[in-house]
Amino acid sequence: MGGLFAHWRQDIEMIMRLLVAAILAGILGWERESERKSAGLRTHILVGVGSALFMCIVAMEIEAFPHEPNVVQFDPIRVIQGVAAGIAFLGGGIIFVDKSKNRVRGLTTAASVWATTGIGLTVGIGRYVVATLATLLIWIVLRVVFVIAPQKQVPEGDPDEDIYEEREEEFRRRPNAGAM
């Protein structure tokens, strides 16, 4: 049977990959959203699903043209490079430099978007366990490392003094701050 349902088994697998990418990316996006960062839940989900979709397309194309020499050659590495370049552009828009206060904002969020791309690409090739463990590791970095990282001592009168006071106060207001 051709047409719409010709590849239904493969389509179900690809849909599962996209759903898993959305869930895993959503976990990281939720963390950024809860911290009121510029790239939150929707951005992370779109990045995760989009990158998984690109890898699914590669998998479908490889299956559609199996071992036909001199016809079509697919190089998944080029897809990864293209997705990474696009995300680098997006990440550049998340990072802000405030020259008046000599600070950079958005690096962690940009890095989490970049890492979400890796998760989406990993799910896109069907490696759910690796993607899930990577999500857990990244979530730990975003949520826990802030708590255990040594705090920068800021001299009084330093332009960054208010940032560190805001972060400490924000951490104290969290409902689970003392539950670690």
Residue 30 vs residue 93, higher pLDDT: 30
DSSP-assigned letter for residue 151: P
Residue 166 vs residue 147, higher pLDDT: 147
Q: Tell me the pLDDT tens digit for each residue of 19-31.
A: 999 999 999 999 9
Query: What is the percentage of the chain residues whose pLDDT exceeds 90?
Result: 32
Q: By the 8 A CB rule, do 32 and 48 touch?
A: no
Residues 130, 122: Cα–Cα separation, whole Å = 7
**pTM greater than 0.85 (yes/no):** no
Which tokens go with 91? 């990440």
CA angle 66, 70, 75 (to 5 degrees): 60
Q: What is the mean pLDDT of residues 117-124?
A: 93
Helix, strand, coil percentages (3-state) for the chain, rounded to 5, are 70, 5, 30
Question: Is 1 a residue whose pLDDT tops 60?
Answer: no
Residue 97 dihedral angles phi and psi, to the nearest 5°: -110, 120
Q: Tell me the pLDDT tens digit for each residue of 158-176.
A: 544 455 555 556 656 666 5
Distances (CA, A) of 132 to 56, 128, 147, 151: 18, 6, 23, 30
Residues 116, 175: Cα–Cα separation, whole Å = 26
Residues 16, 107: Cα–Cα separation, whole Å = 31
Question: Is 177 a residue whose pLDDT tops 90?
Answer: no
